[in-house]
Amino acid sequence: MSASFDAYRERKNGPDVFLEVRFVGTGFSASLVANVITAVEESAYQVAVREIDELERSLPDVDSAVFDAMRYRANQYRGRAVTLHSAQSGSILLLGIIAGLSYWLLDKTLGETVKEAWVKSGRHDQIVKMLSERRWAKAEAIVKRIEPRPYPFSEPRPTVKGTVEERLGNVTAVVTVTPDPSTEPIPPPSEVARRATE
């Protein structure tokens, strides 16, 4: 794991939601892995966009134009709501963190409009506290949106189960993917040749 990822994990009870995507078994098609990661990313993005709406309701004294700008900018960052930091062998295990897209956009947008007044206002602490309190619900919303997704490829649909767990004092969205038992990995050419001579 990268040093920065370890540093994130050491910060207990912060606003971060961690991610673990575990593929159970062996021999996964690239399309299966790509589609699961895409589904996780899209789910995290949709939850971040909803979080902008929640921030707007929670901060009624902030001009609505700020939130409109955030929604516009969020669309420009689609596909970047999840950052993967590590992969482990055995079953495929991907570890990452859900980006703080809504908070980052709020900080960036308000920082551009009111600069130092934003930093000195104490809003940072208020928002970090609010997002920290909501992280379990955010993780649940992310995994809930992943579970029913159809996977548009020809192999049988895998079982995708999402849960939220506390790991090392942090909220972690855990996605477990189990391929359909009837899915047989297509062997490499050397294996096909070997089987043909048996």
Please report, rounded to a whole number, the percentage of residues in the chain having pLDDT higher than 70: 82
d(CA 28, CA 26): 6
Q: Is the pLDDT of residue 129 over 60?
A: yes
What pLDDT is stored for residue 148 in this prediction? 45
Mean pLDDT of the chain: 81
d(CA 184, CA 187): 9
Q: Please count the helices (runs of H) and the strands (runs of E) in the chain.
A: 6, 5
Looking at per-residue pLDDT, the higher value among 55 and 119 belongs to 55
This prediction has a pTM of: 0.80
Burial 35-62 (b: 16+ CB within 10 A, else e): bbbebbbbbbbebbbebbebbbeebeeb
Task: List, for residues 3-29, the tens digit of each pLDDT value.
Answer: 565 665 566 666 788 899 998 887 777
What pLDDT is stored for residue 5 in this prediction? 58
Find the length of the chain. Answer: 198
Task: List, for residues 137-178, the tens digit of each pLDDT value.
Answer: 999 999 988 854 555 555 677 888 999 998 878 899 999 988
Report CA-CA distances (Å) from 147 to 42, 127, 141, 144.
12, 29, 11, 6
- Averaged pLDDT, 84-108: 83
